[in-house]
Every structure is written in C-alpha cells, then in structure tokens.
Amino acid sequence: MSEEALNRHQRAAITKRKRTRAWILDAARSLFDEHGYHAVTRDDIAAKAGVGAATIHKHFSTKQTVAVAAYAPYVLGLMQATEKSLANGVQIDWVITEFIRELALELHDHPTMAYALLPLAQGQRTLTHSGNSEEVLDVSFQQLTELLGKLLERQACHDRSGILVVEVADFYLSGLLTWIVQHPERSDEDAAALLLSQLL
C-alpha cells in the first residue's frame, strides 16, 4: 500500500473517531440535561448515539469522563475568555467576578458538570480516557483551580497568608461545586454571590 493511500486511510479513521465521539457527546448532553447525571448510564448514551456499548467503552472509560468531555466546551470557552481579559489588563476584581459568575451559570445550567467535577475536587478520582484522548475536549478541576489561583495571585490578597494560592482556589471552587450540587433549587446568582463575598 502506498504512503498516500495509508495516509488517506489514517485520515479516514481519525475522521470516523471524531464523528463517533461527537455523536456520543451530543447524546450525553441531551440525556444528562433531560434526566440528570445519576439517571444516565454509558449504555443509555451509546443507545441514543446509535453506537454499540463496546464503542462508548472504547472511547470513554467512565461515565464521569463522558460528562466532563460533554460539557468541557462551555468551561473551556470561559477559561479562554478569562485568560484573554487577564492578558488585556482588565481590572482584576472585574475579571474574578466575571469568571465566578459565568462558571456558576454554566454549572447551574449544566449540573452534570458539577457532579462530574466534584469527586475530582475531593481528590477521590482522576480522569482517564480510553483511546486517543488528545481528540477529546477536556477540562480538569486542576485547570480551573490553577486559573482561579492565577487570578487570586494577581489580586494579591491571598498570597500573604502563607497558604498556597492554588490551595485557596481549590477550597473555593470545591465549595462552589458543592453548593451547586446540594442546592439545585437556588440560582446561579446566589452561588456566585456567596463565593464572591468571600473572595472580594
């Protein structure tokens, strides 16, 4: 087989994997939004996506990895916008406020993300992907804490206490996730206001 044909086959396989993952993640978002995190299984997602159970197990090792990958684009967009504001020299209290408000809104609108990230915040598990994980959009609790830690460090109000800024950020974000999970009837504004009252 020629190198050109091999490359064509490799490209086709990559395209097929991406398309399959897109189907899985679209199905996952739909089911999680309709039924909640606990009522949905990977087999339910596979059925809705029109793929076999073995296929979803090949791409995602746990329901948690599916959930985080399904909602990652919402949080990654927020993280990129926050980094851009920070790079453009926007006033730091405003950047922190917007980051927390938008994160609370995304978690409130998509509580499955909060359920999936909470065990990571509590140090219970780490996320691992099956297959070619570089093709999966992902966001980790650690990335969120590092970003909030960077914001707090710029604000320079927490680094004098002797506690590592990332540990402080970890504490606050864990609290936000817990609040969202334990108080689904409360608004995202309530969750954000509670956290911001402690940060600013």
Asked whether the predicted pLDDT for residue 188 surpasses 70, the reply is: yes
The three-class DSSP label of residue 60 is strand
pLDDT of residue 128: 45
pLDDT of residue 2: 53
Residues 6+ away with beta carbon under 8 Å from 113: 67, 68, 71, 74, 75, 106, 107
- CB of 98 closer than 8 Å to CB of 106: no
pLDDT of residue 131: 45
Output the pTM of the full model.
0.81
Asked whether the predicted pLDDT for residue 135 surpasses 60, the reply is: no
Query: DSSP of 80-126, one letter per residue?
Result: HHHHHHHHTT--HHHHHHHHHHHHHHHHHH-HHHHHHHHHHHTTS--
pLDDT of residue 155: 82
How far from each other are the two terminal CA atoms of the chain, in whole angstroms? 63
pLDDT tens digits for 42-57?
999 999 999 999 999 8
pLDDT of residue 134: 40
Domain 3-199 CATH class label: mainly alpha
pLDDT of residue 117: 87
pLDDT of residue 9: 78
**CA–CA separation, 145 and 3 (whole Å):** 45
Instruction: Say what percent of the chain tops pLDDT 70.
Output: 84
Residue 138's pLDDT band (cuts 50, 70, 90): low
Angle at 22 between CA 85 and CA 70, to 5 degrees: 50
Instruction: Say what percent of the chain tops pLDDT 90.
Output: 53
Find residue 139's DSSP bridge partners: none
Mean pLDDT of 1-10: 66
> Judging by beta carbons within 10 Å of its beta carbon (0-12, 13-18, 19+), is residue 105 exposed, middle or buried?
middle
